[in-house]
Amino acid sequence: MAIFKRSARDTTSQTTNADEVDADIDGHAAAPAAEEAPVESVPHVGISMSTFGAPAQPVAPAQPQRTVTRPPAEAPARTETVTGMPDNTLVQAALASLPEKPGNVDVMNVMRQSMQGTMYVRVRGDARALTAEGKPITLAVSQIDGARFLLAFTGGASLRASVEADGDRDTSALGLPVANVFRNAIEGPYEGLIIDHAVAGSRIVLPVQLITKAFEEGDPAFTIKNLLAGPRSAETAAAVGEALAQAPLWVAAGPAGDSGQLGLAESRTASGERRLEVYSHPLEVLVLQRGDRPVPVTAAQLGRALQSNPALSGVIVDPGGPWIHVDRADLGPVLARADEPDPAPAPAEPAPEPASEPPAS
């Protein structure tokens, strides 16, 4: 059930622009309001927050090609269960696939699929009028064992379910880029984010530590993920090629044969083409559960790997889906950076100075 709280940090990142959507979400025959969401109703998994990736290093030899069954290349078709409020169907699909008792990988899968598009927050009063007048916005939160969680929604149906659950019809929805939703969760006094809290079987908690780490280690604009999750056109592969030259990238490193040497994961198409696997975020590697390690690479290193191995016909980006093949013809911006030097290693942190002894009396 939703309650509404506001603090000084609740709206610091909540910018309003022409892309945002607000809509009336008055409920129907709503149940009496409740103060807290039941603890058992929302899956909550603790995740160790070790660093996802490792420092960038020279590109290693390739692993043997793998034969795998690919998930769909494109995100589920876009829908609008409430007119004017596009559903985030990719996140909805990730939530719908959750087992009864989600584990770490399930939570990470929802996290990685959430790094694109728009989600909605629930606002006390008329969000459009409040933002137009520059007034503070009060966001819906839920309390579990005294901890506060920001509520986010994938579309109009889950917002209506929230209203019907607590009966508070003096509310509206504000559509925000997911980056803004995550910033509110990180900067506010929250322990995490609950997505679609009133939809049984399709809701989950994203701990704030996971959101923070995922946000820190990836592209804050989620450029590649947004391209892969959006509608495809003849220009999409070229747009992804441009983004690969600028955004943070990772490869999947694992044992190459019996030698024990690390190699990079490749894929082979049905027609026999070899493609290097490239990832937009380390979580994209981890959710595949192949035992590979996400290793960051620069665009220059990727360009050199392609130049030195002409048998590679291109790359496959985010094989866990949504994914895309990008041919060499669309990788010009990456290949153009192949001659750039590798970044200098970060300087070691200075050792702390020994504490000085007090002067003798």
pLDDT tens series, the chain, 361 aa: 455 444 333 333 333 332 334 444 433 222 222 334 443 455 555 444 444 555 545 555 555 555 456 899 999 999 999 999 999 999 999 999 999 999 999 999 999 999 999 999 999 999 889 989 999 989 999 999 999 999 999 999 999 999 999 888 899 999 999 999 999 999 999 999 999 999 998 999 999 999 999 999 999 999 999 999 999 999 999 999 999 999 999 999 988 766 667 789 999 998 999 999 999 999 999 999 999 999 999 999 999 999 999 999 999 999 999 999 999 999 999 999 999 998 777 666 666 665 555 555 4
Q: Rounded to whole angstroms, how far apart are CA atoms 42 and 194?
A: 8
Any alpha helices (H) in 16-83, and if so which ranges? none
Q: If you search the block for the tokens 């709280």, which residue do you land on?
A: 5
Residues 134 and 65: beta-carbon distance below 8 Å: no
301 located within any domain: yes
Domain CATH code at residue 207: 3.40.1350.90
Domain CATH code at residue 243: 3.40.1350
Burial zone of 159 (CB within 10 Å; 0-12 exposed, 13-18 middle, 19+ buried): buried
What pLDDT does residue 21 have?
40
Indicate if 189 and 296 belong to the same structural domain. Answer: no
Residue type, 295: V
What pLDDT does residue 219 have?
96
Of the residues 165, 193, 216, which one is the last residue of a structural domain?
A: 216
Residues 245 and 253: beta-carbon distance below 8 Å: no
How many domains is the chain partitioned into structurally? Answer: 2
187 located within any domain: yes
Print the domain residue range for 303: 222-334
172 located within any domain: yes
**Residue 48 CB contacts under 8 Å (≥ 6 apart), including other chains:** none
What are the residues facing 137 on neighbouring strands? none
Of the residues 160, 183, 216, which one is the last residue of a structural domain?
A: 216
341 located within any domain: no
DSSP string of 282-309, one letter each residue? HHHHHTT-SS-EEEEE-HHHHHHHHHH-
Q: If you search the block for the tokens 């916005």, which residue do you land on?
A: 137
Residues 28 and 165: beta-carbon distance below 8 Å: no
Burial zone of 319 (CB within 10 Å; 0-12 exposed, 13-18 middle, 19+ buried): buried
Residue 11: which of 142, 138, 148, 150 has the closest Cα? 138
Of the residues 163, 183, 216, which one is the last residue of a structural domain?
A: 216
Find out whether the peptide bond into 343 is cis, omega within 30 degrees of 0.
no
292 located within any domain: yes
262 located within any domain: yes
Residues 47 and 209: beta-carbon distance below 8 Å: yes
Indicate if 264 and 247 belong to the same structural domain. Answer: yes
361 located within any domain: no
39 located within any domain: no
Any alpha helices (H) in the chain, and if so which ranges? 89-96, 104-113, 127-132, 156-166, 178-187, 208-217, 223-229, 236-244, 282-286, 299-308, 332-335
Q: How many helices (H) and strands (E) does the chain have?
A: 11, 15
